[in-house]
Amino acid sequence: MLEPVNISIQSLNLVTLAPMLIAIVGALSIIVIDLVKGGLDKSLYVMLTVLFLFLDLGAIFNFIETVSANGTLLGFFDVILIDGLAILSQLIIVGASIIFIPLSLTSKRFHEYNYPEYYALFLFMIAGFQFMVASDNLILIFVGLETASLALYALIAMHNREKSFEAAVKYFTMGALAAGFYSFSSMVFYALTGSIEINQIAAVLAADGYANIGYVLVAVIFMLASLGFKLSLVPFHTWTPDVYEGSSAALAGYMSIVPKIAAFVVAMRLFEFLIHSGVVWLEIVLYAAVVLTMTAANIWALVQKDVKRMLAYSSISHAGFAMAAILIGTTQSNSALFLYWILFVFTNLGAFTMLWVSRQKTLLPGQSSDHPYEKFAGMVKTMPLAATMMALFMLSLAGIPPFGIFWGKLYLIGSAVSAEYPMLALIMALNSAIAGYYYLKLIIYMFMKEPIDNASSSSYMLNASLPLKTIIGLAALATIFSVAMVNPLMEFITAMVYNSGY
């Protein structure tokens, strides 16, 4: 006869679920509000979403003190794991969402923003990402990943253009493949170790001295492929430019940041112990992926004719950069990853918002995409301030000091140097030099070419509204004065990462 299961509510530690629950409750209440009274304006939903996200943020802040004192916090049958990594990445996820969702307050009407479901899906997606980073249980990570991805596919398709459907289906197919890889890899890990907790897997593998190295290799390769799809590592990146092109610029910018930081945290949890296991080929596989991602994406970006596609390739290359931090695997490099990503949030936010405000409803005559380089020709003559902003974000992406991403790059290359990876440091530096060219290309179009005939000064700001302009201003300020926030951020991040044992 089975023993009756007795679980005290106390031991569940339900508070660890609070951040995700807030997002889910938010999503549900938006749907309920729509049921009670339809036809409400999008501004209401946007503001509600922002409010719930602020509550979410507050719940995460709550953990900081406990975690800095005790290290980690377990909850809900010990599948939820709140440590420094979880806190940092949730702060980035929720923070970035707060500044991205007001991008739907455009002056032009886009039909997806009038559906309350859009905001509900958005909040479900955030909850999914939060589950993904706040666990070291392979199954819960998988559930979070799929929740978030399914919501994201729908969000892309809601843009309701032919290219958006193509993008959503493409992303969905690739995502399904990645999910298959993920579950296969988890299965192998489970078969090898009898556990689905990452720290248990690490302990068992270490205990038997990586005896079944062949199987571990299979599991790692499949895991790398699956996360590679989410992180858009070469050669699993093929969907990225098409999906970015098909989605609205706002969502593309969002996709270049939030899903990736969630995947980085999973990668960090999984690969870190493997790299430190002393098995050389694990390192070689990752090394190859990192170098290939940085370099190949940069070279493809050189030949793009559309700014959004260029930014898509550039975000692949930046992902390669951040992946290098995981390869290096020291506390310094893992902290550098978070610093890099926070600075990247502001700059990329600015760049994609600039594209978003210049979005026209129909394509200009003679253009095959929304944002060809030619569209920006001579922008400095018609809209000097907007052109300067755009140039600022490009310079930051190129890593010109003293703008945002430079400090991330500095710290990341610095961590490569201090972990005795001189070749990697050099490759990263040379890649920054290659990347300089395509960011420069846009600046050259804006500042040194003559305007095209049919562009009136307003065509760059068609979509701009006060909230959007505020966001651009915020991003620009954060990019210019980033040097002031690097030190406090660095101290906080390092403490958090160190506390989690990475």
Partner 1 sequence: MLDNILTILIFFPALAAMLGFVVEKGSIRAFGVSVATVEFVLSLALWYAYDPSVVGMQFMESMPLIPAFGINYLLGIDAISLFIIVLATFITLIGIATLGEVKNIKNMIITLLFLEMTMIGVFSALDAIVFYVFWELSLVPMLYLIGAWGGPKRIYASIKFFLYTFTGSLIMLVGMLFMAYFYYQATGAWSFSILEWYRLVLPENLQLWLFVAFFMGFAIKVPMFPFHTWLPYAHGQAPTIGSVILAAILLKMGTYAFVRFSLPMFPDAAVFFMIPIAIIAIIMIIYTAMVAYAQEDIKQVVAYSSVSHMGVIILGTFALNVEGITGSVFLMIAHGVVSGALFFLVGVIYDRRHTKMMSEFGGLAHVMPRYATIFGVMMMASVGLPLTINFIGEFLSLLGFYKQSHILTLLAGTAIIVGAIYMLTAYKKAFFGEVTNEKNKNLPDVNKREMFALIPLVIITIWLGIYPKPVLEPINNSVEAIVSLMNEKAITQEAKNRIPDPMAAKVSTPHGGTH
32 lies in the binding site for partner 1 (CB under 8 A): no
Q: Which of 253, 378 has the CB closer to partner 1?
A: 378
Total residues binding partner 1 (CB under 8 A):
34
Under DSSP, the state recorded for 306 is B
Q: Which residue among 265, 425, 468, 475 contacts partner 1 (CB under 8 A)?
A: 425
CB of 255 to partner 1, least distance (A): 29
* Interaction pattern, residues 378-397, with partner 1; x per rule: CB under 8 A: --x--------------x--
CB of 159 to partner 1, least distance (A): 35
The residues that bridge with 75 in the sheet, in sequence order, are 80
Cis peptide before 401 (omega within 30 of 0): no
* 3-state secondary structure labels for all residues of 216-283: HHHHHHHHHHHHHHHHCCCCCCCHHHHHHHHCCHHHHHHHCCHHHHHHHHHHHHHHHHHHCCCCHHHH
Binding range to partner 1, per CB under 8 A, among 4-12, 101-109, 227-235, 488-496? 488-496
* Interaction pattern, residues 237-256, with partner 1; x per rule: CB under 8 A: --------------------
Binding range to partner 1, per CB under 8 A, among 5-13, 48-56, 282-290, 426-434? 426-434
Instruction: Dump the DSSP string for 331-344.
Output: HHHHHHHHHHHHHH
Q: Which residue among 204, 213, 410, 452 contacts partner 1 (CB under 8 A)?
A: 410
Q: Which of 291, 413 has the CB closer to partner 1?
A: 413
426 lies in the binding site for partner 1 (CB under 8 A): yes
Cα dihedral 195, 196, 199, 200, rounded to 10, equals -10
Q: Which of 171, 407 has the CB closer to partner 1?
A: 407
401 lies in the binding site for partner 1 (CB under 8 A): yes
303 lies in the binding site for partner 1 (CB under 8 A): no
Task: Of 304, 305, 161, give the one whose Cα is nearest residue 246.
Answer: 161
User: Considering Cα of 407, then 412, then 417, then 418, what sign does the dihedral take?
Assistant: positive
Q: Which of 281, 437 has the CB closer to partner 1?
A: 437
Q: How far apart are CA 147 and CA 182, in angstroms?
A: 14
CB of 432 to partner 1, least distance (A): 5
51 lies in the binding site for partner 1 (CB under 8 A): no
Q: Which of 187, 410 has the CB closer to partner 1?
A: 410
Residue 129 CA, chain-centre distance (Å), reads 10
Residue type, 496: M
402 lies in the binding site for partner 1 (CB under 8 A): yes
CB 12 within 8 A of CB 73: no
Site for partner 1 in 457-486 (CB under 8 A): 483, 486
* Interaction pattern, residues 433-462, with partner 1; x per rule: CB under 8 A: x--xx--x--xx--xxx-------------
Q: How far apart are CA 261 and CA 100, in angstroms?
A: 15
If DSSP codes are grouped into helix, strand and coil, which group holds residue 381? helix
Q: Which residue among 414, 465, 467, 498 contacts partner 1 (CB under 8 A)?
A: 414
490 lies in the binding site for partner 1 (CB under 8 A): yes
Q: Which residue among 51, 302, 429, 477 contacts partner 1 (CB under 8 A)?
A: 429
41 lies in the binding site for partner 1 (CB under 8 A): no
Binding range to partner 1, per CB under 8 A, among 11-19, 279-287, 356-364, 419-427? 419-427
Q: Which of 21, 444 has the CB closer to partner 1?
A: 444
- Token couple for 229: 């799809």
The β-bridge relationship of strands 73-75 and 80-82 is: antiparallel
CB of 443 to partner 1, least distance (A): 8
If DSSP codes are grouped into helix, strand and coil, which group holds residue 364? coil
Q: How far apart are CA 502 and CA 492, in angstroms?
A: 14
Binding range to partner 1, per CB under 8 A, among 76-84, 259-267, 399-407, 473-481? 399-407
Q: How far apart are CA 129 and CA 112, in angstroms?
A: 22
CB 317 within 8 A of CB 298: yes
* 3-state secondary structure labels for all residues of 162-216: HHHHHHHHHHHHHHHHHHHHHHHHHHHHHHHHCCCEHHHHHHHHHHCCCCCHHHH
Cis peptide before 488 (omega within 30 of 0): no
Q: Which residue among 160, 199, 238, 418 contacts partner 1 (CB under 8 A)?
A: 418
Q: Which residues bind partner 1 (CB under 8 A)?
A: 380, 395, 400-402, 406-407, 410-411, 413-414, 417-418, 422, 425-426, 429-430, 432-433, 436-437, 440, 443-444, 447-449, 483, 486-487, 490-491, 494
